[in-house]
């Protein structure tokens, strides 16, 4: 369909490659189900050859997530392609292999050490093999933005002839400008004799802040698939942001006259879910999904808004999922009501897990009057993580005051054994961190400590993200509680649980009460 833009979401592949954004399989499944509910056309579920975990994640998504096509990434190499085919096999007719090879002179010479002829030969062989294994093949010319145009036309024509029905033109290093990139797409479609046999796709990086602009320029010149991520996650400066692409096409339908299959009302909940799972906060002034995206402080703006909302709003907050997710659940609500709301949020709970989450819900309901969807999603996160815990926070007591040295006492269960320690610090959070880290090793270098309020009100849960580095490994942990010190301790413990070979120190700190 010429009036349809296919949304190819690569949050689980390219987005996960952002430092510190690694997700476990359960977290990937939650995101994949959310993307399916959002209405994306293709989910790039991972890079199956990269690790057993990546393979398992792609295989499970292909088995359990229905609606979108499920793609696995593969280099133009037989081992990669066969592994990807095995991973996406459960998706049946909805399986896709996305194979790629670099085509720019600098990549061919310095990285691949191959001649242009060899690159074309390898690409054609890869597409033919992939096409023999799965119903649909996508071919990407890595670093197409810096590829010589004659060679790019040659390899595109050859891979379409070999069976690729989606041709992806990535601006891998975010080098191009909209006029250049749009012109490149138009020239390819015009010059390649069999271009009508394939959908042209684009995958733009944001190194110069032009990923969305370049993607739209490509759409204006004939591209009909856009590869993007939730919140613009991705390597380096990230990728084109799905929410921006979709809402531009919707808001400026007068210019583009193109549609997507995305349910825009689910954009904000999906954005928050990805932010929560990856530990990557959303900047307040981020378009569409930032906390300030629909805030009006200027007196002139406020006056206009009171007279007519369209004076300063080109779309409604409700159209993207803001202000539509308040729920009336409290300590008197029952399990049936809780289960029903989770089902509306796209979360299925079996009876055993419902009981566990309901118990957490009741504890939270005793602390705060109103429960929001964001609160519920954090309850699910804590529930999902507890099954893999080697370290658990049993108790925390902290004290601080004007003129006093803040001190914290913690009790942890580490691989089934109880350990206690105290710590002093510049504040109660610092003291709690020092006490916890005195009990475990490795305990990592703290790269990030971030605090956000999950909802409004003085009784709101605080959402804390902690990022640790241990050697080459970077991990995130999240925690939430109405007590920010407790939330911080939970986040640190969650991050420590993700460090490999984490164990109790041989010599433990002396415990004393606070």
Residue numbers in the known binding site for Mn(2+) are: 14, 203, 205, 239
Secondary structure (3-state) at 98:
strand
Counting Cα atoms < 13 Å in the Cβ hemisphere of 489 gives 27
User: Between β-strands 42-46 and 6-9, what pairing exists: parallel, antiparallel or unpaired?
Assistant: parallel
Secondary structure string (H, E, C) spanning 29-84: HHHHHHHHHHCCCEEEEECHHHCHHHHHHHHHHHHHCCCCEEEEEEECCHHHHHHH
DSSP class of residue 508 equals P
**φ, ψ for residue 176, nearest 5 deg:** -85, 160
Based on the number of CB atoms within 10 Å of its own CB, is 196 exposed (0-12), middle (13-18) or buried (19 or more)?
A: exposed
Query: CA torsion, points 6, 322, 61, 359, in degrees to nearest 10?
Result: -170
Region of residue 451 (left: phi > 0; alpha: psi -120 to 50; beta: else) = beta
Query: Tokens representing 497?
Result: 């649980």
Annotated binding site: 14, 203, 205, 239
User: H/E element holding 382?
Assistant: helix 373-385
Residue 13: other Cβ atoms inside 10 A:
24
């Amino acid at each position: 369909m010429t009036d349809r833009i296919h949304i190819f979401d690569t949050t689980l592949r390219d987005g996960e490659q952002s430092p510190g954004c690694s997700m476990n399989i359960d977290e990937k499944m939650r995101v994949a189900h959310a993307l399916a509910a959002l209405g994306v056309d293709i989910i790039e579920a991972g890079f199956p050859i990269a690790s057993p975990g990546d393979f398992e994640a792609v295989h499970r998504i292909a088995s359990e997530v229905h609606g979108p096509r499920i793609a696995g990434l593969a280099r133009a190499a037989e081992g990669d392609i066969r592994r990807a085919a095995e991973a996406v096999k459960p998706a049946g007719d909805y399986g896709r292999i996305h194979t790629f090879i670099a085509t720019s002179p600098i990549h061919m010479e310095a990285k691949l050490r191959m001649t242009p002829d060899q690159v074309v030969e390898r690409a054609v062989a890869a597409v033919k093999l992939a096409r023999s294994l799965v119903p649909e093949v996508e071919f990407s010319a890595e670093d197409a933005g810096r590829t010589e145009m004659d060679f790019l036309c040659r390899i595109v024509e050859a891979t379409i002839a070999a069976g690729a029905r989606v041709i992806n033109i990535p601006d891998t290093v975010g080098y191009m400008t909209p006029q250049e990139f749009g012109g490149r797409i138009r020239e390819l479609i015009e010059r390649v004799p069999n271009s009508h046999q394939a959908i042209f796709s684009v995958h733009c990086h944001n190194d110069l802040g032009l990923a969305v602009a370049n993607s739209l320029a490509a759409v204006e010149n004939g591209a009909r698939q856009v590869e993007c991520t939730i919140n613009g996650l991705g390597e380096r400066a990230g990728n084109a942001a799905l929410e921006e692409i979709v809402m531009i096409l919707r808001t400026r339908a007068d210019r583009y006259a193109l549609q997507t299959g995305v349910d825009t009302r689910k954009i904000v909940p999906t954005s928050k879910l990805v932010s929560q799972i990856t530990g990557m906060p959303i900047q307040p002034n981020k378009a569409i999904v930032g906390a300030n995206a629909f805030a009006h402080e200027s007196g002139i703006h406020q006056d206009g808004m009171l007279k007519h909302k369209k004076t300063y709003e080109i779309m409604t907050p409700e159209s993207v999922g803001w202000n539509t997710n308040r729920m009336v659940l409290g300590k008197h609500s029952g399990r049936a009501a809780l289960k029903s709301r989770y089902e509306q949020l796209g979360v299925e709970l079996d009876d055993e897990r419902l009981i566990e989450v309901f118990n957490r819900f009741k504890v939270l309901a005793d602390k705060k009057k109103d429960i929001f969807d964001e609160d519920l999603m954090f309850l699910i996160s804590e529930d999902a993580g507890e099954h893999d815990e080697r370290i658990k926070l049993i108790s925390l007591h902290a004290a601080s005051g004007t003129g006093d040295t803040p001190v914290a006492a913690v009790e942890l269960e580490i691989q089934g054994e109880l350990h206690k320690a105290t710590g002093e610090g510049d504040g109660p959070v610092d003291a709690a961190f020092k006490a916890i880290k005195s009990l475990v090793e490795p305990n990592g270098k703290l790269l990030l400590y971030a605090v956000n309020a999950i909802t409004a009100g003085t009784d709101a849960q605080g959402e804390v993200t902690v990022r640790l580095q241990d050697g080459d490994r970077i991990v995130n942990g999240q925690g939430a509680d109405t007590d920010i010190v407790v939330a911080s301790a939970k986040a640190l413990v969650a991050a420590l649980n993700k460090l490999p070979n984490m164990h109790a120190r041989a010599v433990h700190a002396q415990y004393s009460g606070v």
